[in-house]
Structure 1
Amino acid sequence: MTDKPVAIRLSGLTRAFGSVTAVDGVDLEIAEGEFFSMLGPSGSGKTTVLRLIAGFEQPTAGTVELFGEDVTRTPPFDRDVNTVFQDYALFPHMTVLDNVAYGLRVRGVGKRERRERARRALASVRLEHVADRKPSQLSGGQRQRVALARATVVEPKVLLLDEPLGALDLKLREQMQVELKQIQRDLGITFIFVTHDQEEALTLSDRIAVFSAGRIEQLGTPFELYERPVSRFVADFVGTSNLFDDATSARVLGRQGNHSLRPEKLLVAAAPSDEAGRRSAAGVVAEAIYLGSGVRLVVDLDEGPRVTVLQQNIGGHAHGDHGDRVFVSWRDADVVPLGDAPLAEQNDTPSRTIRTAGIR
């Protein structure tokens, strides 16, 4: 947290649906002007938390405060927040300008003032030139920016975004990530962003809460979550990791407990490293995958585990082709201890995880 005022405070927030607890006692403070993301897989509780903040759901227990005011039982239309959804929800029969001005019209703002404010909102997302078009005449990215202008024109204290970029293709989504962050900086209001895309969260956020089973698994900056995950779940979900159980850690890393090593922290060479503070392990290249910006090498180590190495494309050629005998090295400082249960006792993980416990 920064020293800015608290925009949103959740205390013991719980939401149960019958025997299923979707949100389980969440405590959280989000600062004014912060770009805050809630990240997690489907069913982790992040979207339910967003709906509880918006007032679309009522908690089973706990409270929601907005700038120090308890709004737990306040209806959605009386909360000073607005929501942007994935499907945009623009009125097809209205012009872009009228779509943006609609919220002001509902609030009884006069026609001249609401049109002026709507034009300023469109200018803030660089779309003043499409004011007279219909939504069907816009691209997906333009429609998303219109939805943002419509949500911000009423000047909410908090803007809630429920996976708003999920319907866009990859290139457009990456472009909109940059634009969305700039819009948030320009407006200076609190953004609360829900996503299951870890790269999106890392790109946009000041801080991220990683959700699992209705609880916050870890809360921190993108740097903290990526570089120092506290659990195997976070190491797996935020990026890609080589995961080592206790036995494999002792054999390969020379230390006890569960550990994580990011693929880009590993180097592959034809000989072991003699650099102080680095360890090396011999192995054979099982796969070499060209990615353009880099090369992903899958190496079967002599000590048992299979590891993935991500090499940057510098010089146009990577060390190691299929079947080559190589040495994988890493700095001791890049090995991250994971403070949770033995890997074998934890749930199955998404397929992108590189498990090193007993894999050959």
Structure 2
Amino acid sequence: MARFGWRVGSKVQRWGRSFFRGFSSASIPSQLENVGFIGLGNMGSHMARNLITAGYKVTVHDINENSMKKFSDDGIPTKQSPLEVSESSDVVITMLPSSSHVLEVYNGTNGLLGGGSHLGPWLYIDSSTVDPQTSRKISTAISRCHLKENKGYVENPLILDAPVSGGVPAAEAAKLTFMVGGLEEAYLAAKPLLLSMGKRAIYCGGAGNGSAAKICNNMAMAISMLGVSEAFALGQNLGIKASTLTDIFNCSSARCWSSDTYNPVPGVMEGVPSSRNYDGGFTSKLMAKDLDLAMASASGVGFKCPMGSEALEIYRKLCGDCCELKDFSCVFRHYYAGKDEE
């Protein structure tokens, strides 16, 4: 069993259990002050910005030089590799597209673990959506490492898998929900950091459980979006306006996030991807990736998911039809051939 070395009953555990009740930039504990953020995509860029707004000292890295330039132009320190980020950070957060990217950032050349078994940061938080096996693999690797310096409040480096829900709008508004796996004391200590980027953090259990919760959440979200889109398309074919059907759904038993918050029908709701030609949201490519993770995980435990499997095939077809960079709600128009409402 991996030895995390957390000093139960010590100063840091008491801090972790009490401090998250409320904080301001003036009261950020020194253990969390210097944050490295790796992955400045649609989600990560907003998350990093919210940390900066909250008063954290943030250093960033991304393989996309243009993404880094947007931060350097604002005076935010940038680094050329994950390893360089780790050298100036107490905590490192990663927000990456896939399992392969996560493994590369942690284990690759100039990766976070590239400096050997003695690490500078005491806490790593991976908010990427990956399979639970990848999260547990990274957790095992971290548990075998040691800290370069005696921190006094923790003996060995720790890691949390903390994927998010809420999409780009919630990332921008700091209203994400974090699903967190790992040592509970580490979760409690990290909670003020998470709540500067989100509205809620939920502890899911040991290493990999946050990732497991996320792929289950996204599978349900995909299936829900398909069901709502199919119902709207049927309604239109039966002569019912999507706006009327939306009003009915949202005050009856069909109400769900896909109908009342992220409506897939163009012209029904402002500020969602369907109102801007399905641009600027959670792409169909990423949804297909997450469904693939869910189906692979289900296969690994011998569990059949017929609706999840069908959802995966539909999103694969969408990607094959040149919709991979469109928001996943484009399934309404491009799969069910829905027509725009006036």
- TM-score calculated relative to the size of structure 1: 0.29
- TM-score calculated relative to the size of structure 2: 0.30
